[in-house]
Structure 1
Amino acid sequence: MRILITGGTGFVGRRLCERLAEAGHALLVVSRDPAKAQRVLPAGTDIESSVLAFTDRAPEAIVNLAGEAIAERRWSNEQKRRLIDSRVAITRDLVMLCQHLENTPAVMISGSAMGYYGDQGDREVTEDTPPHDEFAHRLCESWEQAAREAEAFGVRVALVRIGLVLERGGGTLARMLPPFKLGLGGRFGSGRQFMPWVHREDLVRIIEFLLERDALQGPFNGSAPHPVTNTEFARTLARHLRRPALLPVPALALKLGFGEMSRLLLTGADMRPARLQAAGFEFRYPTLDEALTAILKQ
């Protein structure tokens, strides 16, 4: 199958490309830096700098993972616009591609994030839970609405609301491991906020699962079935590293340092993958202990 991928050089995208290439799929990747992408993606990957460059090589499926990192800098009004545009603009380009193709792709798997739900306190969250209106929700809602426009052209659209992605070499652990290894880790604020997480390998398997199941569409929570609070996450990571986790970061310090963006660290959602599990998906790493054991033994 010819699969068009945006965000293919990212932390999740690179691993997805590896697995899809190993399975024999032909990869079409959109990258702002094709030369750099060629160095990190599987041999034979067809790389272009724009979505519409693939009009003459009609993809049979699309995986849309593009988007500027949400936690790289404070959320000024300008930065908020960049975060939205980096997701919505390329998604609309993908919809435009679908409109122009004689044979449209069968499916688009489009990224979203746990931020869709906003701050949910300690309530259990499924795909049916109403969101809390805040910037993270509006960002994800705009992204999802742009992707859903492909449905008008007969494309099956599945939306993956991704939790914190765990694996060595990037994602959440890239920032957490250095201080925790030094014994300088601890909870953020009260530590009661939930942290939906997912092992990168399971997330890639979720995307493959949704590509293959023709009946699955709409939103899916892309996180492990056992989310933990921030305190539990800190304690579990510290235990695996055989280090203490006794240095909490006060909420006020985070608010002063990061402004509105601190909500990513101080709020959360007890997000459960209800629709994935109902569809028969089985997680390889359902608990944080299992995920960290596999990651940290490498």
Structure 2
Amino acid sequence: MNPLRWWNESYKKDLFSSRVDTTKTLAQAIAASPSPPHSWVLVSGVACYKPSMTAEYTEDSEWTPFDLLSKLVKEWEASALLPENVTKTTKQVLVRPGAVLGRDGGAMKQMLLPFWLGLGGTLGSGRQPFPWIHVSDLAGIIAHALEPAADTPSPSPLVFNGVAPALNNNHEFTKELGRLMKRPTIFPVPGFVMNTLLGSERAVILTQGQKVIPKRTQEAGFEYKYPDLTSALKEIVGG
């Protein structure tokens, strides 16, 4: 498929429908159930937070939609909300992950071959924040969130930023991956090339980023298996 066509109007409609409509159907099923679950967890994303080189976002940070992806997160999370009578027994949780790093899929699967070939490089300036999480830790946060609430569930969802506590940028990620794979990382990809290949709406995911802090995640007592980039990438590349 031509990447320039991935974000046409038809694809954008499918993007919203597959997430918003499906989640709304599940929320309605929970609301109608005679035995609703103890917990209801939605995994959305950090795209709700506006890219910035300086701002730091915790789960308490206020935000408003500013582009296509943040609008998607807003509608997606809203579609998961349960009626107040159901929230008396069902804990609502929102997990907002960054880039999910794992050996067998996602972004890493697409990156490994170019890096093995010595073609890995920073994206754009490389200075953009790169919020990430190892897939095992994301699964752990979800499992942690599924535990029954000690207190009476709140009408408002409990939000967890599903990111590692390390604050890395794209340059640091690129250099560490290249070091562990023993491959050079000397071919940066300029921002205008990313825009041409992917379209500006897709390229912004890679060329801009947010400093996201898992404040509530850590306060809830979650212990990361891979809190730093080196340990996460070592597990993935087998270094």
1:102 maps to a residue whose letter is P
| TM-score, normalising length: structure 2 | 0.89
For the residue of structure 2 that corresponds to 1:149, the secondary structure is: coil
Residues of 1 paired with 2:231 and 2:117: CA distance? 23
Q: Select 1:263's aligned residue among 190, 204, 218.
A: 204
| TM-score, normalising length: structure 1 | 0.72
Q: CA deviation at 1:77?
A: 2.1
Q: Select 2:94's aligned residue among 152, 156, 159.
A: 159
Q: CA deviation at 1:274?
A: 0.7
- Given that residues 118 and 136 in structure 1 are in contact (C-alpha distance below 8 angstroms), is that contact kept between their aligned partners in structure 2? no
User: Following superposition of structure 1 onto structure 2, how do residues 93-108 of structure 1 map, counting pairs within 5 Å?
Assistant: 93-108=25-40
Residues of 2 paired with 1:261 and 1:147: CA distance? 25
Tell me the residue number matched to 1:214. 149
User: Following superposition of structure 1 onto structure 2, how do residues 29-40 of structure 1 map, counting pairs within 5 Å?
Assistant: none
- Given that residues 151 and 157 in structure 1 are in contact (C-alpha distance below 8 angstroms), is that contact kept between their aligned partners in structure 2? no
Q: CA deviation at 1:147?
A: 0.7
For the residue of structure 2 that corresponds to 1:221, the secondary structure is: strand
Q: CA deviation at 1:85?
A: 0.7
Tell me the residue number matched to 1:61. none
Tell me the residue number matched to 1:114. 46
Q: CA deviation at 1:151?
A: 4.8
User: Following superposition of structure 1 onto structure 2, how do residues 265-284 of structure 1 map, counting pairs within 5 Å?
Assistant: 265-284=206-225
Higher RCO (C-alpha 8 Å, min separation 6) = 2
Tell me the residue number matched to 2:227. 286
Residues of 2 paired with 1:115 and 1:152: CA distance? 30
2:149 maps to a residue whose letter is D
Residues of 1 paired with 2:206 and 2:9: CA distance? 20
1:104 maps to a residue whose letter is P
* Residue 251 (1) aligns with residue 184 (2): no
- Given that residues 120 and 185 in structure 2 are in contact (C-alpha distance below 8 angstroms), is that contact kept between their aligned partners in structure 1? yes
* Residue 86 (1) aligns with residue 18 (2): yes
2:61 maps to a residue whose letter is T
Residues of 2 paired with 1:72 and 1:107: CA distance? 39
1:265 maps to a residue whose letter is L
Tell me the residue number matched to 1:144. 77
2:19 maps to a residue whose letter is R
**Identical pairs, percent:** 38
CA deviations 1:200-223 (Å, max 9, x no partner) are: 111111111001151584211001
CA deviations 1:270-291 (Å, max 9, x no partner) are: 1111111011111110000011
* Closer, same or farther: CA 95–188 of 1 in aligned 2, 3 Å: same
CA deviations 1:133-189 (Å, max 9, x no partner) are: 111111111111111135552231100001111111101211111101111010111
Q: CA deviation at 1:103?
A: 1.6
* Closer, same or farther: CA 223–213 of 1 in aligned 2, 3 Å: farther
* Closer, same or farther: CA 264–247 of 1 in aligned 2, 3 Å: same
Residues of 2 paired with 1:291 and 1:152: CA distance? 41
When the two chains are superposed, the root-mean-square deviation of aligned CA atoms in Å is 1.8
Question: Which blocks of at least 5 consecutive residues in structure 1 are unaligned?
Answer: 1-70
For the residue of structure 1 that corresponds to 2:133, the secondary structure is: strand
1:169 maps to a residue whose letter is D
Residues of 2 paired with 1:292 and 1:256: CA distance? 29
Normalized per residue, the structure richer in strand is 1
For the residue of structure 2 that corresponds to 1:102, the secondary structure is: coil
Tell me the residue number matched to 2:133. 198
For the residue of structure 2 that corresponds to 1:194, the secondary structure is: coil
1:207 maps to a residue whose letter is I
User: Following superposition of structure 1 onto structure 2, how do residues 176-191 of structure 1 map, counting pairs within 5 Å?
Assistant: 176-191=111-126
1:280 maps to a residue whose letter is G
2:208 maps to a residue whose letter is T
2:72 maps to a residue whose letter is L
Residues of 2 paired with 1:264 and 1:251: CA distance? 11
Question: Which blocks of at least 5 consecutive residues in structure 2 are unaligned?
Answer: none
CA deviations 1:4-55 (Å, max 9, x no partner) are: xxxxxxxxxxxxxxxxxxxxxxxxxxxxxxxxxxxxxxxxxxxxxxxxxxxx
